[in-house]
Chain A
Amino acid sequence: MTQEQHSGQRREEAQAQETEQEVTAAAGQDAGVDDLLDEIDGVLERNAEEFVRGFVQKGGQ
């Protein structure tokens, strides 16, 4: 990869981060979403950190 492409990619990533914040701010304003989030709270594994740490897979295709 050339230097020019490198800096191009970095520019892309910086730009992506800025715009990601815009999208995040616009989401999650649906009616009924509270109800759904209440349910998700009840369904989520109780110890998220332990669950994520324990989710180990062996190689695959």
Chain B
Amino acid sequence: MSVHRVMGLETEYGVLAPAMPGANATMLSAQVINAYAATIREARGRIAGTHWDYTDETPLNDARGFVQPRAQADPSQLTDVEPELDAEQVALAGGDVTIGSTLYDAGEYDHEVLMNMVLGNGARLYVDHAHPEYSSPETTNPFDAVLWDQAGDHVALAAVRRIESLAGLPDVHLYKNNTDNKSVSYGAHENYLMPRSVPFDSITAGLIPFFATRQVICASGRVGRGMLGSHPGFQVSQRADFFEAQIGLETTIRRPIINTRDEPHAHWEKYRRLHVIIGDANLGQVSTLLRTGTTALVLSMIEAGTAPELELRDPVAALQAISHDPTLKTKVELADGRRLTALEIQWIYARAAAEHSGATDATDEATVEIQRRWEETLQLLETDIMAAASTVDWVAKYKLMTSYAQRHGLDFSDPRIAAMDLQWADIRPEKGLYHRLAARGLMETLYSPEQIARAALNPPTDTRAYFRGRVLSQYPEHVVAASWDSVSFTVPGARRLERIATLEPLRGTKALVGDLLDQQLSIHEFIATLRS
């Protein structure tokens, strides 16, 4: 029982080019990837790992034990094929035939247009549908998950700056949020490695009440209600109104509280990768820590069979009712007839976690800190919600908006409040309202900008991301493709690619391959040693 397990976070950024309304979102996203590639090329001379190896992608495998027929899948579910930016899309971009050359200045991008990169820190940066996405490297605990998630914002900002610096190209802005408030939502997914032996039913039962209520300690807040945001008012979560089902395979339509995609990116018989799609993207470091840390604790209880036995009568309605009440007084009904607030349900989980940690002697520093922060946050929210503003993103946003509305005599239907909601998530420090609060010391941070910048270039040392990141940096001319569970090398004189499988997330670590990499072997020697 602890918070330690393999985990990683994904962020799909909102993308906007204000000077080019209607610009094709896939084009803009590709521009972001290529701008970051240009910064790496400039610093290192060349980039590596621009092809994703789709061999082990199985987005239609369902954890409930079946495979969705390809013909029945929504096109957006087919994430196991390379996205293409074809002439048609270029032509569609704003209906302007010159827009391709407008976005891709020949001098800057005289290479192929990239849709995918694997980074030296082990992350993946790519075009996911119509958004640039950063998928963090695998980490082993919530603290590292926060650091390498923040590194993604650093990477995204570097791309934005690169585009700003190029004369003649329109600026591109990126937003770490989850909705445009006009019916569209995009995700911030979490991934947690679990033993396959844990029955999926127990995961579902243990997690649904937790996920319906977790938002009160870590969601990001939203102005407007309903998918269209057409009903006025502030709500706790960005994502709640976009969920329609308890359980399912889809991530873009009929979104489920529990996603059943069974794509472990690791040994299938040993592991499952729990793919969590219900969370909000967080700018705040502590909110990210609470989101991943408390979830890790609940997963440990589920694995041990000690998770609280709660059942909501209508989980989707409860999720939304809780989100719609920023006073946190709303009670939701359990299957046994009890009516509890989200905070009361979170306390049940938090107390069970404390008890279980005690019983299993989980006294490591990280676990103790997550438990302490969880309980402190619940206490604050119970006694004085606004007192949690320095750590809980939705409270920070709500407090800022409330103050602003009072000063100007506005209500929450005013466009200025809606603008604040969007601008909260602008990743530029000079424009993003989260960043303005943080610069004043009003948001608690766990990592300095220097630490985050280092994590943008360097992988975690204790997972296979270390191997992936190091070989990309050390053998850029030889790494032709990579994925979560493989790296493919081209070796001069060899007829075929050398594909090194990395199916064990906790191998490929510094302890196991650091010395080998430090020897600076030739690619022949390096591959031969790996194969021996």
Contact = CB atoms under 8 A, between A and B. Distances in A.
Interface in B309-324: 313-314, 317, 321, 324
Contact of A45 (B180, B314, B325, B423): B423
Given A59-B252, A60-B128, A61-B187, A43 B436 contact: yes
Contacts of B385: 23
A61 B128 contact: yes
A48 B184 CA distance: 20
Contact of A15 (B330, B407, B436, B437): B330
B331 A59 contact: no
A54 B182 CA distance: 10
B415 A48 contact: yes
A13 B324 contact: yes
Nearest to A5: B314
Given A12-B331, A57-B130, A57-B180, A20 B16 contact: no
B418 A57 contact: no
A46 to B, nearest CB: 10
Interface in B99-132: 128-131
A58 B289 CA distance: 29
A38 B130 CA distance: 36
Nearest to A27: B402
B184 A59 contact: yes
B233 interface: yes
A18 B402 CA distance: 16
B25 interface: yes
Interface string A23-45: 11011101001101101100111
Contact of B386 (A19, A20, A27): A27
Nearest to B418: A52
Contacts of A36: 400, 403, 436-437, 440, 442
Contact of B129 (A16, A37, A40, A58): A58
A20 B12 contact: no
A52 B14 CA distance: 13
B47 interface: no
A17 B325 CA distance: 8
A20 B325 contact: yes
A59 B402 contact: no
B130 A40 contact: no
Nearest to B225: A13
Among A5, A26, A27, A54, which residue has the most Cβ atoms of chain B within 10 A? A27
A16 B341 CA distance: 12
Interface in B126-147: 128-131
Contacts of B330: 12, 15-16
B423 to A, nearest CB: 6
B402 A28 contact: yes
Contacts of A22: 327
Contact of B329 (A8, A19, A37, A49): A19
Interface string B178-213: 011110111101000000000000000000000000
B129 A59 contact: yes
A59 B128 contact: no
A61 B436 contact: no
Contacts of A55: 14, 16, 180-182, 422
Contacts of A48: 414-416, 418-419
Contact of A57 (B184, B233, B321, B419): B184
Given A12-B325, A16-B327, A61-B277, A40 B16 contact: no
A38 to B, nearest CB: 9
A19 to B, nearest CB: 4
Contact of B333 (A8, A17, A27, A37): A8
Nearest to B402: A27
Given A16-B329, A60-B184, 6 more contacts: A12-B331, A15-B330, A19-B325, A19-B327, A37-B403, A58-B129
21 contacts: A5-B313, A5-B317, A13-B321, A15-B329, A16-B325, A19-B325, A27-B398, A40-B433, A44-B420, A45-B423, A48-B415, A48-B418, A48-B419, A51-B423, A54-B16, A54-B21, A57-B131, A57-B182, A61-B187, A61-B189, A61-B277
